[in-house]
Each structure stands twice: as C-alpha cells, then as structure tokens.
Amino acid sequence: MTAINFDPWGKESQPDETPFRRSWRPVDLGDVLDGSWTVPQPTVGRRADGVGLFYPGKTHTVASESEGGKTWFALSAVQDELIAGRHVVYLDFEDDAGPLVGRLLTLGTGREVIREQFHYVRPEGPMGSGTHADDLRALLGDVRPSLAVLDGVTEAMTLHGLNPLDNADAAKFGRMLPRKLAETGAACVSLDHVTKTAENRGRYSIGAVHKLNALDGAAYVLENRTAFGVGITGKSSVKIAKDRPGQLRKHALTAAAGLHWFGDLVLTSHNEDFAEVEVVVPEQKEAGDFRPTHLMGSICEALAKAGKPLSGAQIEALVKGKAATIRQARALLEVEGYITDKTPFQLLKPWDGGDSNA
C-alpha cells in the first residue's frame, strides 16, 4: 500500500535510523476495501515447476549448516533473475569476488551478463552515515535490483558492532540493512547459519529469535542429504520455516518440527568448469518424515460427512489410497488429536491442513 521508494534512507536520515513517518495516523485502507490490493506473490527466483522462491519487497532468510548449500540456493535465484534480464545486488560479508563469481561462471552465466547485471559489494567496514551509505544508496537507485542478497548475517552484524545473539541488536540490524534493501522493491535474502545442535534447532537460524519473528517474507532451512563436490551430484532438502504471506506453503509437503518441505536443491557438477543447479519439486517417496496430509484430510472429511464414528475398514472403503498409507494417515490423526485413538474412530476436530501445531 506504500509506494516504492528507491531512496529508502531519505536525504536527511541516517542509514541506521528509520526516516520519520507519521505512522501513528490511520492508514488509508482504500485499496484493500475497493479490491485493488492483492496478496503478495513469490515471483523472484523459481523452482523447476515455475513456483517462485521469494517475495518482492519482503525480507527473507536462508539458513543451513556449513556446506549445506545456502549460497548455491541463492545463486540459483540470482541466475534466474539475470536470465530474466533483471539486476541483482550481492553484499558479501564472508568471502570475496573470485569464488562467488567463479560459481556463477561454472553455472554457465555469461560474462557480459555478470558484468552488466550482477553488482557485487564486499564491505570491509560499517556502513555508517557517510560515503558508504551514499554509495549503496546510489547503486540501489541506479540499478533497481529485483533481488538483493546479504551473505553472512553474523559477520555483517559483528562488523557493525552488533551482537547476533541479542534481540534488540537483531531488530536494529534488520531496520538498518535488510528492511532498507526490501524497501527498494527488491526481495532481500539474508544467508545465515543454523545452530550446531540439530535436535534443538527447530525452525531457527543461529542467534536471536527476532531474526525469524521480524521477517515479512519467508524463511528457508536447508538440510544436506548428499554432499556437494566436483564431479558428483549433491542434494539438500529445502524446507520452509516461515511464510508470512502464506503463498509458498501450499506448494510444499508438511514435514516435521513445524517445517514444510518445499523442494530439493540439486547441484550436478559435471567437472571443474561446469555445473547445473536446480530447485526441484519434492518427491514424496524420498521423504523420511513424509506426512500423507492429503489422506489425513480425506479421512477427516469422510468422518465429517458420515456424521458418526467409523471403523478402520469403513474408513479404508471410503478413502481412496493404499491401505498402508491410509493407516499411517489415521495413526498420525490419532496422535495429533484429530480423531479418537480407538475404533470406531470419531472426529474430534476439523482438519486444518496440519498447521495447528506449526
């Protein structure tokens, strides 16, 4: 509802401060009430079937363990945008231009395309309020990127004297850089690390909880299944930890720990000089934590339509699917409190897609 501003800091404001806005006045709801407002759609980057990865003008995170594939995942979206003729800004707080641009060349990205549309920045000092901020502001205004990648959240926060474990500092950093990048209309994607202990990880990247809570786009967690390397095919599961606009989860499969399995990052390395990267649709047969959500919903629907308890045999007669998978779905419904745990089975609460505990 707010017009895109390609000078998000304003002429007088500091880059680590929010320009003064009279935000305590009522918001004009005209576009919502007259039907002209539309739900944000993910149109930046793409999965193999054409489903987008990121929302324009929103903030996102991609987190994984070391060598989990988060940079390759970001570069798959970078390549998509470059092929579409759009510009990308890449702020790298972890590495330097050689390895990163080398990866783009390995993926077959043209040198002239990289030179003209890919804008690599390697900050070595805090942004501050002077020349550095002016340089970034000028770049954003000149190229109007569709995608802005921030590689190395922990390093970026440390460079600015902020503690990645502190919620107040995480909020300050979010306003200072990711939110400002998104206000240009770009999808801002921050690459981060997950906590080392997998069993306590859940939906979160390392550091302050505010990193996830403050996002207005999506958060992805990558889990490596097959190692990446020269001459081999590596694979990581791509799971959604948060989807504020709600337009990505409907293209995913429900997984464990409140996550949704959106796809697989597949990197096929043919040799030192050529590789292919793709985000493919998840295959149910490969899911160790696969949940037969379609059948779970069908069982609840059958019980609701019957209006009375049903035996296991009656459920299998009414619901189409393999008997073993129907029983798996029924068992999950019992455990999660949708139906009683004894036959005949009775519906206890309506099916909500399995998101009630997410």
CATH number, residue 304 = 1.10.10
Q: Determine the average pLDDT of the residues in 29-52.
A: 90
In a domain, 13, yes or no: no
Q: Which two tokens stand for residue 265?
A: 């990052």
Q: Which residues pair with 188 in a beta bridge?
A: 59, 148
Q: In whole angstroms, give the CA distance from residue 221 to residue 202.
A: 10
User: Which of residues 221, 241, 259 is at a domain's end?
Assistant: 221
Residue (of 356, 330, 358, 332) closest to 344 by Cα position: 330
214, 297: one domain: no
173, 313: one domain: no
In a domain, 154, yes or no: yes
34, 112: one domain: yes
Backbone φ and ψ for 262, nearest 5 degrees, come out as: -90, -30
User: Which of residues 177, 205, 221 is at a domain's end?
Assistant: 221
Could you give the number of structural domains in the chain?
2
User: Which of residues 190, 221, 252 is at a domain's end?
Assistant: 221
Q: Do you know the residue count of the chain? A: 358
Q: How confident is the model at residue 9 (pLDDT cuts 50, 70, 90)?
A: low
In a domain, 240, yes or no: no
Cβ neighbours for 265, distance < 8 A, ≥ 6 positions apart: 69, 72, 73, 76, 222, 235, 236, 237, 238, 277, 278, 279
Is the pLDDT score of 1 beyond 80?
no
22-36, 245-259, 285-299, 318-332: least confident range: 285-299
Q: Determine the average pLDDT of the residues in 235-256.
A: 92
Query: How many CB atoms are located within 10 Å of the residue 8 CB?
Result: 20
Q: Which two tokens stand for residue 259?
A: 């996550």
The pLDDT score that the predictor gives to residue 290 is 60
* Tens digits of residue pLDDT in 127-162: 887 899 999 999 999 999 999 999 999 999 999 999
Pairing of strands 253-254, 260-271: antiparallel
In a domain, 232, yes or no: no
In a domain, 175, yes or no: yes
191, 77: one domain: yes
In a domain, 68, yes or no: yes
Q: What is the pLDDT of the chain when averaged over all its residues?
A: 86
In a domain, 137, yes or no: yes
295, 215: one domain: no
302, 214: one domain: no
What is each CA distance from 352 to 295, 298, 337, in whole angstroms? 13, 12, 12
- The range of the structural domain enclosing residue 177 comes to 30-221
Please, what's the b/e burial string for 50-84 (b: 16 or more CB within 10 A of its CB; e: otherwise)? ebbbbbbbbbbbbbbbeebbbbbbbbbbbbbbbee
**CATH code, domain with 47:** 3.40.50.300
Per the omega criterion (within 30 degrees of 0), is the bond before 344 cis?
yes
Residue (of 54, 44, 34) closest to 217 by Cα position: 54
Tokens 């990308």, located at residue: 88
Q: How confident is the model at residue 202 (pLDDT cuts 50, 70, 90)?
A: very low
The pLDDT score that the predictor gives to residue 20 is 62
In a domain, 18, yes or no: no
Pairing of strands 253-254, 218-226: unpaired
Which helix (H) or strand (E) is 122 found in, with range? none
DSSP assignment of 71-120 equals HHHHHHHHHHHHHTT--EEEEESSS-HHHHHHHHHHTT--HHHHHHHEEE
Q: In whole angstroms, give the CA distance from residue 348 to residue 300.
A: 9
52, 158: one domain: yes
Q: How far is CA 268 from the centre of its chain?
A: 22
* Tens digits of residue pLDDT in 71-123: 999 999 999 999 999 999 999 999 899 999 999 999 999 999 999 999 999 99
